[in-house]
Amino acid sequence: MMNLGIKKIVEEIFPFRRMINSIGMDKAFEVVKTYLPDLIVHEYQPNEAADDWEVPCGWELIKAEIRDINGKLIASDRDSHLIVAAYSEPVSGIFSKEEISKHVRCHPILKDAYFMEHRNAYNYSLVDWGITLPQQLWDSMPDESYSVVIEVEKDFNRSMKVGEYTIIGQTDHIISFTAHIDELCNDNLSSCAVLIEMFKSLSKNKNFKPYYTYQLLLIPEVIGTFFYVRNNMDVVRRTKSMINLETVGRGEEWLIKQSLRGDNYIDKLMIIASEHILKNYKVTNMFGGYGNEERVYEYPTIKIPSVAIQRFPFDEYHSSHDTPDKLSDEYLNQALDFVNYLIQLIEQDFIPEYTHILPPWLTKHGLYFDSKDEPELFELFMNQVQFNIDGNNSLVDLCFKYKIPFQTLHKYLSQFVDKKFIQKKSTYEIW
């Protein structure tokens, strides 16, 4: 069944121009609060420092036009706001095509699209003006002079914002979900919409009484994470793992990005969820695919196991063609199913530990698989599973090792728990 709420969230927020510290970001968080009223919006002021980083000022594009020497309009911000590089300096003058070439960039794949250029935003020493044009338009422009006008507005009072929403569990051990709400559509409003829908549903579910505490972070990509992490180290230190969602509404194939080590508990959870929900997917190390918040959380000074799920690659990446009409309802719903199932795994998993010295009389309790009638089940459950219940391996560990569907093993061992042959230990120590 298609979840129409995800697309609705996308369509509400997409029209806003969302770059790091902008009016569009402010409006985006206003919309998010209609779905998650208890959203906390952290604010960081321009020039505020987080170690070596500084918050950029507010920046808005007011007007952009390129005209030929006869005054004919070649391109403007009415074609796409991406025509001007984010955090470009203003400019007004007549320039030769050769001079403009030093300030223009084109999309590397799509010849008819504007490119999302953001080097100025992250390189504070790059004080320059910049534009982007479709490659085919740039190639068609004669080698003559052009009028270039860029008008921008800087705001040194508007704050950069990070949204945080929390569902409190029985413990203060945190599982964090992140997605960046700036930029365009599939990148990465699609992921934000999926997570907003998930957290909205979970918060309204009176039967959801989680063991872990679940956190949602909606951020300006990477730089917002720097400031949140540096100003909330007490929260970060309680975070067991971070799961990042990126470009989940369009792209060639599902990609699971492993943690830095690649063999953490969260890596096993991701594979088991992928086998159940995605079916077809690829796995890469932390440095594959699109890089985001995992690069912050996995940094050697922080060391929080972090993973990601994304559709990768997608051709419209960082282009004016990244629009809501290209999102796949199927992929968005798969992403929602995936994160919901991941939480189900996290909440249902436990470390089984025997309560008796001797093995239970399994035939007496209908828990035995006969070696003659069911040799495969006998080998799997009577041998491998039973002899690896050691008070250290969780159900997820056993499922991952022996390729058992989680619900199958959970249902089987829950009978041992009911009969008090096994006691449950929390998984919080194995994250």
Query: In the prediction, which pLDDT does 121 show?
Result: 67
Q: Residue 98 and residue 184: Cα distance in Å, rounded?
A: 30
User: At a CB cut-off of 8 Å and minimum separation 6, what does 370 contact?
Assistant: 378
Query: In the prediction, which pLDDT does 123 show?
Result: 67
Q: pLDDT tens track of the chain, all 431 residues?
A: 557 789 999 999 999 999 999 999 999 999 999 999 999 999 999 999 999 999 999 999 999 999 999 999 999 999 999 999 999 999 999 999 999 999 999 999 999 999 998 776 666 556 889 999 999 999 999 999 999 999 999 999 999 999 999 999 999 999 999 999 999 999 999 999 999 999 999 999 999 999 999 999 999 998 999 999 999 999 999 999 999 999 999 999 999 999 999 999 999 999 999 999 998 999 999 999 999 999 999 999 999 999 999 999 999 999 999 999 999 999 999 999 999 999 999 999 999 999 999 999 999 999 988 888 888 888 888 899 999 999 999 999 999 999 999 999 999 999 999 999 999 999 988 98
Task: Find the DSSP H helices in 47-157.
Answer: 97-101, 119-122, 135-140
Query: In the prediction, which pLDDT does 374 show?
Result: 87
User: At a CB cut-off of 8 Å and minimum separation 6, what does 410 contact?
Assistant: 348, 395
| 27-30-34 Cα angle (round to 5) | 145
Query: In the prediction, which pLDDT does 54 show?
Result: 93
Query: In the prediction, which pLDDT does 429 show?
Result: 86
Query: In the prediction, which pLDDT does 27 show?
Result: 97
Domains of the chain and CATH, by start: 4-51+159-348 (3.40.630.10), 58-155 (3.50.30.90), 351-430 (1.10.10)
User: At a CB cut-off of 8 Å and minimum separation 6, what does 34 contact?
Assistant: none
In contact, 41 and 161? CB cutoff 8 Å: yes
